[in-house]
Amino acid sequence: MAPKGSKAPKARPKPPDPPKEYPTIADELLAAYQESRPYQTLAASKGIQNLTANEKACYAHAVFLETGAWRSWPAATQNEFWKTIQSEKIPIPLPKPQDLGRDTRGIEVGKYTPAEFKLYLRREREIEGLLGKTMGYLRAIMAAKEHSPRVLELTEHIISMNAAHYTVWLYRSQTLLALNSSIPAELEWVNNVALDNQKNYQIWHHRQILVEHLVQDVGSDEGKLRELGKSEVAFMKEMFDEDAKNYHVWSYRQWLVRKLDLWQKGEIEDCERLLREDVRNNSAWAHRFFVVFSNPRYCTEGSKATEFDGGIPDEILDREIEFSKAACFEAPQNQSPWNYLRGVLKKGGRKLVSLECFAGEFVKIPEKEGEGEEDVKSSHALDFLADAWAEKGEREKADRALRLLGDKYDRIRKNYWDWRRALLKSDGGGLGGIEGQFVVGAKLFGH
Amino acid sequence: MAVSEPSLNAALHIKYWQRCLKSVLPNGYTSMDSSRVTLGFFILSALDLLGAGADTFSEDKRTNIKEWILKCQHPNGGFCGSPNHRYPDASYVDVGHGKQVMDPANLPATYFAIMGLSFVGSFDKIRRNDCLRWLKTMQREDGSFGEIVTQDGVIEGGRDMRTCMVAAAIRWMLRGDEIFTEEEKKGDIDVDRLVSHVRAGQTYDGGIGESSQHEAHAGYTYCAIASLKLVNRLPESKESEPNSGLTNVPSTIRWLVSRQMGYTAEDDEEEEEDPAPQVKLQGVYTDEAAPENEQFVGFNGRCNKRADTCYAFWVGAALNMLCHEKNTLLNVSPIRRFLFEQTQHRIGGFGKCPGDPPDIYHSYLALAALATMNEPGLKPLDAALCISIQQKKKLELLRKAASDWTGE
């Protein structure tokens, strides 16, 4: 389409208007339309037979443009046609302006000023019509505190457009409970919404409300509770197939374990299954830590994740240590099991030195510096040993390990390893062993 | 290895942010969705960091933005995410305690609205005392904060560190962190419980999660540390009170520096394919310790996840707060190179991952990360508030003026 300001042809009957302010958008669009077809206007006012030969030719070209008849011509003819259009500067006709309709207040949009119209268009784009209207409708219903089946339809509709609307989910759950609707049916619907909206967390809060209610209904019926647990876990498996590290799903799972007392019902096995698929899945490691070290059967209530807990049986500590060791062997440079090991030792009140031999499997350093090559399979093992040696008071060895990390095996963290070396000199402490001897601030940058 | 150091093209970024300003921020008729206040804050603060902030706008523009934000203020304190989320004032008259289930004020929106106002105007139109009263009602027994309070007084929303940080920041902006009289303390949130809630979030690996039973996450770790900083409870020495915020600072530092990862372009291609299931062979090493690529260093938000622009801020700023000095624990050059050469976009702004188009959120946090590392051409940043130190000082003046105004 020709830009509005395109130059008028030589034979144009009127000189081009200077940029003009129109009172309404309809006027502006009409003027632009007329300006784009000067020959049609001229022919209409003078009569075709009264046009000059040149005007007649231009008029014919303009009509061909407007009707689109030229599109069916052979290429050579089309070329000729466009040459004339260019040389005669015939503007390309705009389509006839359509009625713009009325706005939500019933005012004719055509009567807006051009500036108002620009804003109106922008606003329309933003509200996206439907969502805005439906929300308005729901607001009216909410104000009247209506809880009816149509609320369910309406909220379903809104959620399909925008699943992140907090109050809509809240109102939906209130209505479901008020209507005594089928919760299993709702859960099934929610499953699909969740699968389509991986990043949404309102869904999981909604799910909690539903399951909370189901648990109340079921009461102490063990069989039914087991069934519920199973179907929830099955659904989470579907979610994990999409993204095994989805934070919201893991959050919900931790809540569910507490709610349905799932501590010893397949949780550890499930973590193991996920870790077999991807031993680097840190979410699965974190869940395992939760299941093992928050189990009320033997854990001390209120014991923090970073604290010693005297309630943990030795065989559980041993089992967890063996499990992490196997994972370290499988992928030595995977930090997850190394972190897990430190966590287990802390919980059990065991020293890092108790695993010195194990960590040593990954690190061979010649006794004296400069005598042969060292062989390091894992920077995390070296870090572990540095702490274990500091714990034993073997500062020289610890310092050498930290230096190797900074200079060779983990150079991107050189500043950190240097800082650890400085810390070792001043406090004699490794991070794993000696805590509470730490001074943040000046010493952090003592080097 | 001699690598030429990239530098900040401030003009390009100012252009990017001015485009955002035009398309996101208000004019008389514009409606807005609930995230608009948040985006508005990012835009205003980004332009401020670049030295082209609201003080360079026309008076009209500033007034416009100010009025737009004030439209979101809830009659009973706090702000809603959008002026469309609340009814006209008259609708609130007959609803008992004045709480409306549909359009209650929202905690994060309140934080972003007050921040936004600090760039374009004064605090004298903020219902300061109402807001602080309302803030107190958002705190639960366990010390956590919700996002909204319903008509029935139920606190809704998660219990994680984000709302703690936002609550601490609102308190800091409107009340400050000085010692109060007993009378003032009564109206205050329960700081001790807030601290113990944050403290309970530390995980076995040293980071902080939604709670200690969840996976550690850099976003939560930042929010937890910023919360403590804003209520003056970040442990600073071994003499610190037993109730200071973190149970184990060295392990948090260890966890934070571990978020750095060497970036190579091949990493990305590998990521796109499904990782092949690893065969478990005891005693057989399937990968080896290798010096990670040192040219580009990015950050992930959780152990073994991909690098993402925003974590350069969450991690860098968290370390900054724990270490007082600028990020000496981090080697700044490869981090700058990652941001400038991998996630910065040709048209200005930054994307989430290398090759991604820029978006407001990642563009802001990239600038903030660079500002934390003293990038020339950017104003120095206050890590806890995530605004320039200059703006922080302005906030202190606004706060003082507002409390004088209300006679406190």
Residue ranges per structural domain of chain A: 25-123, 351-447
pLDDT on residue B355: 87
The shortest C-alpha distance from B50 to chain A (Å) reads 29
Cβ partners under 8 Å of residue B85, min gap 6: B34, B72, B103, B106
Alpha-carbon distance B147 to nearest alpha carbon in chain A (angstroms)? 10
ipTM, interface predicted TM-score of the complex: 0.87
Distance CA(A173)–CA(A156), nearest Å, equals 11
Nearest beta carbon to residue B213 from set A294, A336, A419: A294
3-state SS assignment for residue A186? helix
pLDDT band of B279, cuts 50, 70, 90: very low
With contact defined as beta carbons under 8 Å apart, do A404 and A398 qualify? no
Determine the residue among B64, B199, B205 to mutate to test chain A binding: the one whose Cβ has the most chain A Cβ atoms within 10 Å: B205
Query: Could you give the CA distance from residue A250 to residue A37 in angstroms, rounded to a whole number?
Result: 65
| H runs (alpha helix) in B104-190 | 107-120, 128-137, 161-174, 182-186
Q: Which residue of B has its CA nearest to A346?
A: B204
Find which of A103, A135, A330 to mutate to test the B interface (most B CBs within 10 Å of its CB). Answer: A330
* pLDDT per position as a tens digit, B39-98: 889 999 999 999 999 999 999 999 989 998 898 888 888 998 765 544 444 444 333 344
**CA-CA distance, A75 to A73, in Å (whole number)?**
6
Q: Which residues of A touch B254 (CB under 8 A)?
A: 416, 431
A376 vs A380: CA distance, rounded Å? 10
CA angle at A123 for the pair A117 and A129, rounded to the nearest 5°: 115
Mean pLDDT over A119-145 rounds to 70
Q: Do A416 and B329 touch (CB under 8 A)?
A: yes
Q: Using the beta-carbon criterion (under 8 Å), do A444 and B30 form an inter-chain contact?
A: no
Determine contact, residues A317/B232, Cβ cutoff 8 Å.
Answer: no
User: Beta strands B260-262 and B155-156: pairing type?
Assistant: unpaired
Residue B181 structure tokens: 């009289």
> Which two tokens mark B167?
């609550």
Predicted confidence at residue B271, as pLDDT, reads 45
Q: CB A166 to CB B235 under 8 A?
A: no
From A127-131, A147-151, A251-255, B326-330, the region with the lowest mean pLDDT:
A127-131
CA A98 to chain centre: 41
Contacts of B88 in chain A (CB under 8 A): none
Q: Are B289 and A251 a contacting pair at CB < 8 A?
A: no
Q: Between A119, A126, A377, which is nearest B285 by CB?
A: A377
- Are A304 and B329 inside 8 Å of each other by CB? no
Higher local confidence (pLDDT), A293 or B235: A293
| CB contact (8 A) between residue B248 and residue A435 | yes
Over the stretch B289-342, which tens digit does the pLDDT of each residue have? 544 557 899 999 999 999 999 999 999 999 999 886 544 899 999 999 999 999
pLDDT in tens, A211-255: 999 999 888 888 999 999 999 999 999 999 999 999 999 999 999
- In sequence order, which ranges of B175-287 are alpha helices (DSSP H)? 182-186, 191-199, 218-230, 249-257, 265-272
Nearest Cβ partner of A282 from B282, B294, B302?
A: B302
Nearest to B195 by CA among B233, B226, B157, B161: B233
Nearest to B31 among A123, A251, A280 (CB): A123
Give the distance from residue B107's alpha carbon to the nearest chain A alpha carbon, in angstroms: 13
Alpha helices in A68-182 (DSSP H): 75-88, 114-127, 130-143, 149-161, 166-179
Q: CATH number of B9-189: 1.50.10.20, 1.20.58.110, 1.10.1040.10, 3.30.70.1400?
A: 1.50.10.20
**Is the Cβ pair A440, B323 closer than 8 Å?**
yes
pLDDT category of residue A332 using cuts at 50, 70 and 90: very high
Residue A222's contacts (CB-CB under 8 Å, 6 or more residues apart) are none
Min Cα distance A165 → chain B (Å) is: 9
- Mean pLDDT throughout A413-430? 83
Q: How many Å apart are CA A123 and CA A118, to the nearest integer?
A: 9
**Interchain CB contacts (distance < 8 Å): A and B:** 211
- Give the model's pLDDT for residue B368: 98
Handedness of CA A117, A119, A121, A123 (dihedral sign): negative
Q: If 0-12 CB within 10 Å is exposed, 13-18 middle and 19+ buried, where does residue B163 land?
A: buried
Per-residue pLDDT, A439: 34
β-sheet bridge partners, residue A367: none
Predicted local distance difference test score (pLDDT) of residue A131: 64
At residue A243, the pLDDT reads 94
Residues in chain B within 8 Å Cβ distance of A279 = 278, 280
User: pLDDT per residue over A277-302, tens digit each?
Assistant: 999 999 999 999 999 999 999 999 98
Q: What is the pLDDT of residues B127-176, one digit of tens each?
A: 999 999 999 999 999 999 998 887 778 888 888 899 999 999 999 999 98
Among residues A94, A67, A59, A65, which one has the least CA distance to residue A78? A65
Task: Return the DSSP state at B334.
Answer: H
Distance from CA of A266 to the nearest CA of B (A): 18
- How does the average pLDDT of chain B come out, rounded? 82
Mark yes or no for CB contact B288/A294 under 8 Å: no
Domain boundaries, chain B: 9-189
Give the C-alpha separation, A262 to A256, whole Å.
8
By mean pLDDT, which of B221-225, B246-250, B251-255 is the weakest? B246-250
Token pair, residue B286, equals 């399937």
- Cβ separation of A409 and B291 shorter than 8 Å? yes
CA B367/CA B350 separation, integer angstroms? 9
**Arithmetic mean of pLDDT, A305-329:** 96
**Nearest chain A Cα distance for residue B283, angstroms:** 5
